[in-house]
């Protein structure tokens, strides 16, 4: 079935469709990774997860919310394709668990995630106003974050004046996205979502929302490690 | 409903940028009295703007929104007065279709690209964009080059396109095309 709804499209953007069959090579790679983990001396294996190939990030978040951090890691290991948000979360979960072997293996993949500014801004958008958020924004700007993305972030600020100024900037940088953010994120009355901008909105907002639910502190810590590695 | 006609304007980019910057600054400060003055809003529209939570909220509404529509019209009027000088209006509703699809034009990539830029509303400030409308601009050099290239194709082009070429080549400066200003 073709994805038709907003969340279907958001999932499609991130390759998160529940019914997407895993390729043989993906399955083989997962099996290999899983075997490697099982064979690591002195470390208990992550729990086996039935039906992991059809699992989603939502399952990861549900497991974490229930306190099953190992199960969440196992799902991430099973669904990770070596790039994008799943890899970021997998690495952040490994860091949280103190699994340095996994962190070391995954850091280069997170480091080459593209565009590099996007993850910083998604994390910043999941944070409250403060020095940690400001530092991520500065780093994103250095990495080439476009003006509209910074304006969007400001439009989501908890500070009312900054939110208004950000919305104005966004209107002048990308009016279609400004309407969509105003309708979706700020729930301003009588504004219509712009269909052309919804895809871009979904790509950014989905990552932000997932990171927030996952636990933004762990992703912040992961980005610290990435930046140390880049320095 | 009749199809809109394309009009050609001489664009003063500096003036348009100045207006855009001013509007942006006032919206960021949410200075509604100054916005009303800048846009020349009457008492009723100024009251409407003052009643909003934020002035920018009204600017984000759809073009056809009854509360916002007259304010958008005022913005376009102010922008026209400040930065646009009317040069020519086509008599033919077929002009846009010819420019976008006539095979003689489409077979020339540089011409097709310049025409597409001239008809691409995404390149206009948000307050000059209208849903379903056509508009765009070209800098002086690009305008002149396009006019010369089109002039060379003259005999192969329909009358409405040749009339456009004559107007485009006969003006000076940056060119803005719009069908609903």
pLDDT of residue A41: 55
Q: Do A95 and A180 fall into the same domain?
A: no
Give the integer Cα–Cα distance in Å for A207 and A204. Answer: 6
- Edge-to-edge strands, sheet with B7-11: B84-89, B7-11, B174-178, B135-138
- H-type helices in chain A, by residue range? 6-14, 24-39, 57-65, 69-79, 84-97, 100-111, 116-126, 131-142, 147-155, 160-173, 175-184, 195-214, 216-230
E strand or H helix at B174: strand B174-178
Quote the pLDDT of residue A43: 61
Residues A41 and A106 in one domain: yes
Q: For residues B156 and A198, what is the distance between their CA atoms, to the nearest angstrom?
A: 42
Over residues B78-92, the pLDDT tens digits come to: 999 999 999 999 999
How many domains are contained in chain A? 2
In the predicted model, is pLDDT for residue B179 greater than 80?
yes
Average pLDDT estimate for A130-144: 93
Q: Over 80: is that where the pLDDT of B3 sits?
A: no
Residue A6 scores a pLDDT above 60:
no
Residue A91 lies in a domain: yes
Across the range A51-61, mean pLDDT stands at: 83
Segment A37-55 mean pLDDT: 60
**Mean pLDDT lowest among A111-115, A148-152, A221-225, B10-14:** A111-115
Is residue A74 within 8 Å of residue A93, measured between CB atoms? Answer: no
Cβ contact A188–B28 (<8 Å): no
For residue A46, name the pLDDT band (cuts at 50, 70, 90): low
- Residues of chain A with pLDDT > 90, as a percent, come to 59
Read off the pLDDT of residues B107-158 as tens digits, 9 standing for 90 and up: 999 999 999 999 999 889 999 999 889 999 999 999 999 999 999 998 999 9
Percent of chain B with pLDDT over 90: 95
Global pTM reads 0.78
Beta-carbon separation of B60 and A172 below 8 A: no
- How far apart, in whole angstroms, are the C-alpha atoms of residue A152 and residue A189? 18
Taking CA atoms, B90 is separated from A1, A100, B6, B39, B165, in Å, by 47, 70, 6, 29, 11
Which among B53, B56, B62 is the nearest to A171, CB-wise? B56
- Distance, CA of A26 to CA of A80 (rounded, Å): 9
Q: 10 Å Cβ neighbour count for B153? A: 17
Q: How far apart are CA A172 and CA B42, in angstroms?
A: 25
Q: Find chain A residues with C-beta within 8 A of B56's C-beta.
A: 164, 167-168, 171
The answer to whether residue A75 scores a pLDDT higher than 80 is yes
With CA atoms as reference, the chain B residue closest to A186 would be: B57
Contact (Cβ atoms closer than 8 angstroms) between residue B49 and residue B71? yes
pLDDT digits (tens, 9 = 90+) for A163-221: 999 999 999 999 999 999 999 988 888 898 888 888 888 888 899 999 999 999 999 99
Domain of residue A15, residue span: 6-111
Q: Is residue A1 part of a domain?
A: no
pLDDT of A65 strictly over 60: yes
Tell me whether B21 touches chain A (CB under 8 Å): no
Output the pLDDT for position A21.
35
Same domain, A102 and A185: no
- Asked if residue A77 is part of any domain, the answer here is yes
The percent of residues in chain B predicted with pLDDT above 70, rounded, is 99
Per cent of chain A over pLDDT 70 is 77
Give the confidence band of B101 by pLDDT, cuts at 50, 70, 90.
Answer: very high
Residues A126 and A203 grouped into a single domain: yes
A94 and A59 both lie in a single domain? yes
The predicted-structure confidence for A156-167, as pLDDT tens digits, reads as follows 888 899 999 999
Indicate if A100 and A120 belong to the same structural domain.
Answer: no
Instruction: Determine the Cα–Cα distance for residues B175 and A7; give it in Å rounded to an integer.
Output: 42
Residue bearing tokens 């099953």: A68
3-state class (DSSP) for residue A190: coil
Q: Do A126 and A205 fall within a single domain?
A: yes
Look at residue A4 in the predicted model and tell me its pLDDT.
38
- Express each pLDDT in B33-49 by its tens digit: 999 999 999 999 999 99
Q: How remote is the C-alpha of A127 from its chain's centroid? A: 13
Residue B78 · residue B4 · CB < 8 Å: no
Are A106 and A137 part of one and the same domain?
no
Q: Across chain A, what does the average pLDDT equal?
A: 82
Largest CA distance in chain B: 58
CB contact under 8 A, B126 and A168: no
- Residue A30 falls within a domain, yes or no? yes
ipTM of the complex: 0.90
Q: Give A22's pLDDT tier (boundaries 50, 70, 90).
A: very low
Contacts of A164 in chain B (CB under 8 A): 28, 30, 54, 56
Give the integer Cα–Cα distance in Å for B174 and B16.
12
* DSSP annotation string for B72-98: HHHHHHHHHHHHEEEEEE-S-TTHHHH
Cβ atoms of A97 and A69 closer than 8 Å: yes
Q: How many CB atoms lie within 10 A of CB A87?
A: 19
CB-nearest partner of A178 from B54, B60, B129: B60
Same domain, A125 and A145: yes
Q: How far apart are CA B14 and CA A94, in angstroms?
A: 54
Half-sphere exposure of A108 (CA within 13 A, CB side): 3
What's the token pair of residue B79?
A: 């922008």
As given in the structure block, the two tokens for residue A189 are: 């009355």
């Amino acid at each position: 079935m073709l994805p038709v709804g907003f969340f279907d499209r958001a999932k499609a953007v991130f390759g998160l469709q529940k019914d997407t069959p895993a390729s043989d090579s993906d399955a083989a790679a997962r099996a290999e990774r899983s075997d490697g983990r099982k064979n690591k001396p002195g470390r208990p294996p992550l729990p086996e997860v039935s039906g992991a190939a059809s699992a989603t990030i939502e399952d990861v978040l549900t497991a974490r919310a229930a306190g099953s951090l190992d199960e969440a890691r196992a799902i991430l290991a099973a669904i990770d394709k070596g790039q994008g948000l799943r890899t970021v979360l997998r690495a952040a979960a490994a860091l949280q668990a103190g699994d340095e072997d996994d962190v070391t293996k995954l850091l280069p993949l997170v480091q080459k995630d593209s565009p590099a500014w996007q993850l910083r801004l998604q994390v910043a958008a999941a944070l409250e106003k403060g020095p940690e958020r400001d530092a991520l924004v500065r780093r994103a700007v250095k990495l080439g974050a476009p003006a509209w993305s910074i304006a969007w972030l400001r439009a989501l600020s908890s500070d009312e004046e900054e939110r208004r100024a950000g919305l104005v900037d966004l209107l002048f940088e990308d009016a279609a996205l400004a309407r969509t953010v105003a309708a979706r994120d700020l729930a301003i009355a009588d504004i219509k979502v712009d269909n052309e901008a919804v895809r871009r909105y979904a790509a950014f907002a989905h990552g932000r929302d997932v990171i927030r639910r996952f636990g933004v502190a762990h992703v912040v810590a992961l980005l610290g490690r990435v930046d140390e590695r880049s320095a | 409903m009749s199809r809109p006609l394309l009009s050609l304007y001489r664009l003063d980019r500096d003036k348009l940028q100045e207006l855009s910057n001013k509007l942006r600054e006032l919206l960021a400060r949410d200075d509604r009295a100054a916005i009303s003055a800048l846009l020349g809003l009457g008492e009723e529209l100024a009251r409407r703007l003052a009643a909003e939570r934020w002035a920018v909220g009204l600017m984000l509404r759809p073009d056809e929104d009854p509360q916002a529509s007259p304010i958008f019209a005022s913005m376009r009027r102010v922008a026209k007065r400040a930065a646009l000088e009317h040069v020519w209006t086509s008599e033919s509703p077929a002009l846009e279709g010819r420019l976008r699809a006539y095979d003689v034009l489409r077979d020339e990539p540089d011409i097709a690209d310049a025409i597409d830029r001239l008809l691409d509303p995404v390149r206009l400030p948000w307050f000059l964009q209208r849903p379903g409308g056509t508009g765009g601009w070209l800098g002086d050099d690009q305008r002149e080059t396009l006019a010369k290239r089109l002039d060379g194709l003259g005999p192969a082009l329909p009358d409405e396109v040749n009339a456009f070429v004559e107007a485009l080549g006969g003006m000076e400066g940056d060119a803005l095309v719009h069908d609903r200003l």
